Structure 1
Amino acid sequence: MQLYFANHRAVWRVGDVAGVDRALLEESLERHRLPAGTPVLLDDVMRPVEPLSSWFRRLAWRRTAAKTMRTYAYAVLMLLGFLQARGRDLRSATESDIVQFEQWRREHAEETVEEPTWDKDAAAIGQLYNFLVDIGYVTARPWRSTSRGTSLASGKSTDVRVRHMEIDQYIYFRDVGFGGLTPDAGLDAAFRGWRPHRNRAACELALLTGMRIQEWSTLLLPELGLMTGIRPRTADVDLEACAKRKQRRSVYVPVDAMELLDPYLTIERPEIVVAAQRTLRRQHRDLFVVTAIEAEGRRFRGVLEGRTVTRVVKDMAPDLRRITVLETGGGLEPLALFVGRGGKMLSASGWDRVRWRAWDRMVTWSTHQDAPVTPRVCWCYHDLRHTCALRLLIFLTREALGDADAQELPMATLLDHMTGNPLLTVQHRLGHLRPSTTYRYIRYLKDPMREVDDAFRQWTAAGGASYITIARHLMNLEEHTHA
């Protein structure tokens, strides 16, 4: 069996090479159109494998994210291979088979997984068997209900560690790691990095907005009001298709984040775009070529897959944003805010390469007298989101306490609580689905590790017996005892 994923642009490319009539190809795609990213499982003679293909279509039609469908497809494919090795299939599988599969995944596979990964596999298997019961392929799930209910998941909640930066760590992260400076803010003549202004601007945007990497890395120029040639002081961005779970929210981009974009937009980005023109022209048929920007930058009209279409910007998925360019008459202008070689939006793996190069620089300079404490594990972009949430929560908490003191009230009124509650504000600003996600930041309002340092600093710094002195004294006692 072979697993594929629906890719409309690939079909267009193959049609062009094979000389298929575009009208006929378009009619065929419209008749059998699957959402992009839909898994397609084919047997040895290229026929769809049922009932899995029908299940994949149901997931797609229910607007399941392409990334989630890919994860589910690979999980179920592993289950199929495991069952076939035992002479079983989805219909004949027993509870013992499913339990053995879990044990294999977590203990005996070449690459074992932890509970969070198994819980994703369990969700895929559970949804698959729900579908099989619905269509009558099986009469019931092959496993029984337990104290956890009918789920195969571990039932344990994952307490995600919140890693945040102090101000000196962030400046070091942004300017030394990504910007190519030295820890004392000097120029590093040996720096050979690529596009430091772009990378510093991305860090600042991620920190000051609290956006996830898929949100800030897929931004388009019109969303920040950057198509007129005049940079606005601030911006408000409506997120939806690129947000987690496609949860709609508005993000405020402050002055500092907008200002740090200037060196990148005026120095680096034009060079990247000019160098990418030949590549973009060669890929013209595979791009979404925008001919008009409408509704003050909220809607695009252009040519996609041979058709003239109109797309609402906030509804555009990351894959479509990555290939969106503007026909200026003098060339193709990528509409992505952050672009790399070839003029296209950087992928998540591309940003990871930038991050690891920055980390190598930070480690190299970590012994410098002006360098802050460097953690043992590499910083990631999501740590900037944690830092934003924590700093915002600390500020709003202090502000709320100050307002209560100024009003000389024994306790805040209900209206004050509803409009000024720091936790609710941070939850809304960062797009947390549940308040419990925001509550986990409370424990970090004061750094427990710093409290330990402060509590025992006087002890270790005080005069008197040190650990070495005590050890020697005990050794002398031991010697006298044996004597």
Structure 2
Amino acid sequence: MQLYFTNKRKVWKVGEVAGLPYAELAELFERRRLPAGTPILLDEAMRPVEPVSTWFRSMALDRMDAKTMKSYAYTILMLLHFLMARGLDLLSATETDIKEFRLWRLEQDTETVEEVSFDRDSAAVGTFYKFLKDNGYIAHRPWRSAGKRESLGSGISRDLRVRHMELEQYLFLRDVGFGGLTPSAELDESFGGWWPHRNRATSEIALMSGMRIQEWSTLLLPELGLEEGRRPPTADVDLAACAKYKRPRTAYVAMDAMELLDPYLLLERPEIVAKAQRALRRGSRDLFVVQRLEADGTKVRGVLEGVTVVRSIKDMDPGLRRIAVRETGDGLDPLAVFIGQGGRMLTPSGWDRVRWRAWDRMKAWAADEATPVMPRQCWLYHDLRHTFALRLLIFLTREALNDLKAEELPMSTLLDHMVGNPLLVVQQRLGHARPSTTYRYIRYLKDPMREVDDAFREWTAAGGASYVTIARHMLDLEEHTRAPQR
């Protein structure tokens, strides 16, 4: 069996090579409507494997994210191979078979996974068997519910890993790692990296807006008001199409972040676009060529797959944003804010390469006196989001306390307290579904280990005791004078 994923643009290219007429391909796509990224499982005779392929199409028509569908598809394919080795199929699997598959993945597979990874697999298995039950393929799921849980997952709520930066650490990352400066803020003549102004601007936007990497890396020029050489002081961006789980929220891009875009927009981006013209023109058939902006820059009109269409910018998914370019008369200008070689958006792996080059630069300066403390592992872009959340939570908490201490209490009513609750504000800014997710940040406002360390340090300084003496005293292990035995 072979697993494939739909890609309409590749089919267009194959059709061109085979000489198929455009109208015939367009009719085929209309009759067999499959969203991009839909998984298709084929057997040795290249026939769809059922009911798996029907489930795949159902997920796609429900607009499930292509990345999630891909993960689910590989999980079910692994389960299918596991069952086939036992002479079974997906419809005849029992509870024991499913539980043994879980055990195999955790302990016996060539590359075992942790519980947290299998929790993601269990979501795929649970969704698949729910589809089978709802559509009459089976009478009930193979496994029984455990208490209130119907999932195969562990049911363990794992702690949120919050790694944030102090100001010195962030500036070191932004200016030395990404920007090519020395720790003393001087120009590093040995720096050979690409597009430092672009990389500094991305870090500033990620930090000061709290956006995830898929959100800030897919920003379009009109969303920031960056068309026709203009730049507003701030911007509000609707993130629904590119947000996690497509959960709607608005991100605010502050003035400092917008100002840091200027060197990139004036110096680097025009150079990238000029060098990419040949590649863009050569692949223009596969692009969404925008002819003009409409409705005050909230919609675009252009040619997509040979058809003139109008699309709302806020509803454009990452795939469509990646291929959107504007016909300027002097050439094709990508609609994306942050672009790389070829004029396209960088992929997640492309941004990872930028991050690792920055990390190597920072490690090379680790012995310098001006270098702040660095973590053991490379910084993640998501650490900037955590930093945003913690700094905002600290600020809002202090503001709330100051209001309560004031003689005139603007937050004295219950409604004002609810609206101004720091946790709820940060939850809204981050796009968390539940307050409990945001609540986990509280424990990182202060490091409890530092408090313990300070308490013992004061005790040691006062009495001259060592940590060993302290432990012996607390456990009552001091040697006592004993009378000699007779």
Aligned to 1:45: 45
Query: Deviation per CA, 1:373-411, whole angstroms, max 9, x where unpaired?
Result: 101111100010000010001001101111111136699
Mapping for residues 285-324 of structure 1, pairs under 5 Å: 285-324=285-324
Alpha-carbon spacing, 1:463–1:366, altered in 2? closer, same or farther (3 Å)? farther
- Asked whether the 8 Å contact 2:2–2:43 carries over to 1, the reply is yes
Q: Figure out how many residues of one structure are paired with residues of the other and give that number.
A: 470
**What does the per-residue CA deviation read over 1:146-195, in whole Å, with 9 as the maximum and x for residues that have no partner?**
22532111111121111110101110111111111111111112111111
Task: Please say if residues 210 and 389 of structure 1, whose CA atoms lie closer than 8 Å, have aligned partners that are also in contact.
Answer: yes
**8 A Cα contact 1:123 1:153, kept in partner:** yes
2:71 corresponds to: 71
Residue aligning to 1:103: 103
5+ residue gaps, structure 1, are: 471-483
1:433 lines up with 2:433 in the alignment: yes
Secondary structure at the counterpart of residue 88 of structure 1: coil
Q: Deviations over 1:121-141 (max 9, x none)?
A: 111111111121223222222
User: Which whole-Å CA distance do the structure 2 matches of 1:31 and 1:456 have between them?
Assistant: 73
Q: For 1:305 and 1:147, how far apart are their aligned partners in 2?
A: 51
- The worse-fitting range, judged by mean Cα deviation, of 412-421 and 454-463 is 454-463
Q: Which residue of 2 aligns with 1:379?
A: 379
For residues 436-456 of structure 1, what are the alpha-carbon distances to aligned partners after superposition, in whole Å with 9 as ceiling and x for unaligned? 111111111212243244334
* Counterpart contact for 1:174–1:200, Cα < 8 Å: yes
Query: How far is the alpha carbon of 1:463 from its aligned partner?
Result: 9.2
Cα distance change, pair 9–381 in 1 and its aligned pair in 2 (3 A): same
Structure 1 counterpart of 2:22 = 22
For 2:169 and 2:464, locate their aligned partners in 1 and report how far apart those are by CA, in whole Å.
35
Shift in CA distance, 42/306, structure 1 to aligned 2, threshold 3 Å: same
- Kept after mapping to 2: 8 A contact 1:148/1:155: no
Q: Does 1:215 align with 2:215?
A: yes
Query: Which residue is equivalent to 1:9?
Result: 9
What TM-score do you get using the length of structure 1 for normalisation? Answer: 0.94
**Partners of 1:468 and 1:94 in 2: CA distance:** 57
Residue 81 and residue 457 in structure 1: after superposition, are their counterparts in 2 closer, same or farther (change >3 A)? same
In structure 2, the partner of 1:123 is 123
- Is the 1:130–1:141 Cα contact (8 Å) retained in structure 2? yes
2: CA distance, partners of 1:362 / 1:182: 9
Give runs of aligned pairs for residues 257-268 of structure 1, distance below 5 A: 257-268=257-268
2:184 maps to what in 1?
184
Structure 2: stretches of 5+ with no match in the other structure? 471-486
Q: Which residue of 1 aligns with 2:280?
A: 280
Distance 1:199 1:410 in 2: 41
The reply on whether 1:344 has 2:344 as its aligned counterpart is: yes
Kindly report which structure 2 residues correspond to 1:399-414, keeping only aligned pairs within 5 A, or say none.
Answer: 399-407=399-407, 412-414=412-414
**Residues of 2 paired with 1:320 and 1:74: CA distance?**
25
Tell me how far apart the structure 2 counterparts of residues 55 and 387 of structure 1 sit (CA, whole Å): 40
In structure 2, distance between residues paired with 1:457 and 1:300: 63
1:236 matched residue in structure 2: 236
Q: Specify the SS of the correspondent of 2:230.
A: coil
Segment drifting more, 243-252 vs 255-264: 243-252
The CA deviation string for residues 279-330 of structure 1, in whole angstroms up to 9 with x for no partner, is 1111110111101111122111111111111111111110110111001111
Distance of aligned partners of 1:165 and 1:196 in 2 relative to their CA distance in 1, 3 Å threshold: same
Q: Distance in 2 between matches of 1:31 and 1:23?
A: 12
What corresponds to 2:476 in structure 1?
A: none
In 2, distance between residues paired with 1:460 and 1:326?
Answer: 68
Question: Is the aligned partner of 1:256 residue 2:275?
Answer: no
Identical residues among aligned pairs (%): 69
Aligned twin of 1:137 = 137
Code of the residue aligned with 1:199 in structure 2: it is N
Structure 1 residue 246 and structure 2 residue 261: aligned?
Answer: no
AA of the residue aligned to 1:244: K
Match of 1:194 in 2: 194
Asked whether the 8 Å contact 1:72–1:124 carries over to 2, the reply is yes
- State the distance in 2 between where 1:175 and 1:456 align: 37
Q: Residue 460 of structure 2 contacts residue 467 of structure 2 at CA under 8 Å; is this kept in 1?
A: no
Could you tell me how far apart the structure 1 residues matched to 2:290 and 2:462 are? Answer: 70
Alpha-carbon distance in 2 for matches of 1:465, 1:151: 53
CA offset at residue 145 of structure 1? 2.0
Q: What is aligned with 1:473? A: none
Q: Which residue of 1 aligns with 2:164?
A: 164
Superposition CA RMSD, Å: 1.9
How far apart are the structure 2 equivalents of 1:140 and 1:233?
A: 58
1:358 maps to: 358
